[in-house]
Amino acid sequence: MKLLSKILLHSLVFASVLACSDDGVSDNPPVGGGSKSVCYILNSGDWKSNNSSITMYDESTGDAVQNYFALQNGGRGLGNTANDMIVYGSKMYIAVAGESTIEVAGLDAKSIKQISCGAQPRYLAAHEGKVYATYYDGYVVRIDTLSLEVEAKVKVGRNPEHLAVYKDKIYVANSGGMDYNTALGYDNTVSVIDLVSFEEVQKIDVVLNPSSVVAADGGVFVASYGNYADIPSTLQFISENGGVSVVEQCSNMTEICWNDGVLYGYFSQYDANWNSTITFLSYDPSVGIVDVPWIKESFLPVPYKVCAAGKNICVTSSDYINDGDVYIYDRDGMLVRKVPAGLNPVKVVSLD
């Protein structure tokens, strides 16, 4: 049961920052929390514990304010298991899986609307005035950023996780995570959605249990988690023409993010007793160079998630019990700052 609960938690809370201004709304930031010096940290909390939260960190003052969303919204919290957050134009979008809602807020974290999903929203992406979300029941939806309504949905694979927009297509990792102990088992496909027709046009076979997808130069990177036993986490690249290859120079990665032409992440491999070995890796595909570890400090945090926030790379840390921290590094792997966060921090977004 310990292994099952950790796998479910691992699946239920897994974490690209998008910052544009084509949603038709002014990007003049509001006062206070909307300052360009602010980062927001999304904390998922415990599954079914109704304790998701946002930490506001202001690098100009060094202040970290916990439960900032509740402070800005009369005490109302995000609810149960917030999974992902992006900034797009003048708004933030937060997928709250346990509430089956997408919270839309201003850059000051004041709520504008809760979009009812009827299913668990998992991960978010944005492109040309639309926000896209994966629903864990097997769909991707398109949200108009002016009306804030779900205007279309398309069927993909089982239990989709991350999605990424590359050129005129959306790439969706279908994990099959809820079927891991059934005859079906994990999924092993990436769905390709045409942005114009908003239809699935292709399913691409990858290594078992794909989860993380990031757009890069020439295509997308996909990290598959494998089966936590004899099939390890595997990094693959899907080219623009749909070809799939394992990244031989850096074949094992678990969590990934893309920042200024370089892929950053880590590899976590578990043994039969659920003990893990952590390796931090970065990969520059333009020259084929792998840097291990890419963090150049003597202290290496126990990682939970990795994400890009502005010019920095953020590693969140959690023990699933106590409030976590976020370690913010520059592109040279040097620690910029350590920020206290809430329980199970999963995403960092910058307003810069």
Of 7-11, 61-65, 141-145, 321-325, minimum mean pLDDT range? 7-11
pLDDT tier for residue 228 given thresholds of 50, 70 and 90: confident
Distance CA(84)–CA(128), nearest Å, equals: 20
The mean of the pLDDT values for the chain is 90
Q: Strand, helix or coil at 308?
A: strand
Domains and CATH numbers, the chain: 2-350 (2.130.10.10)
The whole-number pLDDT of residue 181 equals 93
pLDDT above 90 for 18:
no
The tens digit of pLDDT for each residue in 204-225 reads 999 999 999 999 999 999 999 9
Alpha helices of the chain — where are they, by DSSP H? 2-13, 68-72
Q: What is the DSSP string of 21-37?
A: --SSS--PPPSGGG-TT
The whole-number pLDDT of residue 272 equals 67
Distance CA(243)–CA(237), nearest Å, equals: 8
**Predicted structure pTM score:** 0.89
Quote the radius of gyration of the chain (alpha carbons, Å): 19
The strand order across the sheet containing 91-96 reads: 82-88, 91-96, 101-106, 111-116
**Assign residue 56 a region: left if phi > 0, alpha if psi is -120 to 50, beta otherwise?**
beta
The tens digit of pLDDT for each residue in 85-99 reads 999 999 999 999 999
Token pair 């963090």 is at which residue? 295
The whole-number pLDDT of residue 37 equals 84
Judging by beta carbons within 10 Å of its beta carbon (0-12, 13-18, 19+), is residue 183 exposed, middle or buried?
exposed
pLDDT above 60 for 14:
no
DSSP-assigned letter for residue 187: -
pLDDT above 90 covers a percentage of the chain that reads 83
The whole-number pLDDT of residue 222 equals 98
pLDDT tier for residue 344 given thresholds of 50, 70 and 90: very high
pLDDT above 70 for 21:
no
* Nearest in space to 352 (alpha carbons), one of 119, 95, 107: 107
The tens digit of pLDDT for each residue in 271-318 reads 667 777 899 999 999 999 999 999 999 999 999 999 999 999 999 999
The tens digit of pLDDT for each residue in 170-206 reads 999 999 999 999 999 999 999 999 999 999 999 999 9
* Nearest in space to 226 (alpha carbons), one of 251, 200, 191: 251
pLDDT above 80 for 230:
yes
Mean pLDDT, residues 139-157 = 98
Mean pLDDT, residues 57-78 = 96
Single-letter amino acid, residue 227: N
The whole-number pLDDT of residue 3 equals 37
Note the Cα 43 to chain centre separation in Å.
Answer: 12
The whole-number pLDDT of residue 223 equals 98
The strand order across the sheet containing 150-155 reads: 121-127, 130-135, 139-144, 150-155
Distance CA(298)–CA(272), nearest Å, equals: 29
The whole-number pLDDT of residue 229 equals 82
Of 123-132, 198-207, 221-230, minimum mean pLDDT range? 221-230
Mean pLDDT, residues 11-35 = 39
The terminus-to-terminus CA distance of the chain in angstroms comes to: 43
Cis peptide before 293 (omega within 30 of 0): yes
Note the Cα 224 to chain centre separation in Å.
Answer: 14
Structure token digits, residue 138: 């097997």
Distance CA(67)–CA(52), nearest Å, equals: 9
pLDDT tier for residue 269 given thresholds of 50, 70 and 90: confident
Distance CA(47)–CA(19), nearest Å, equals: 29
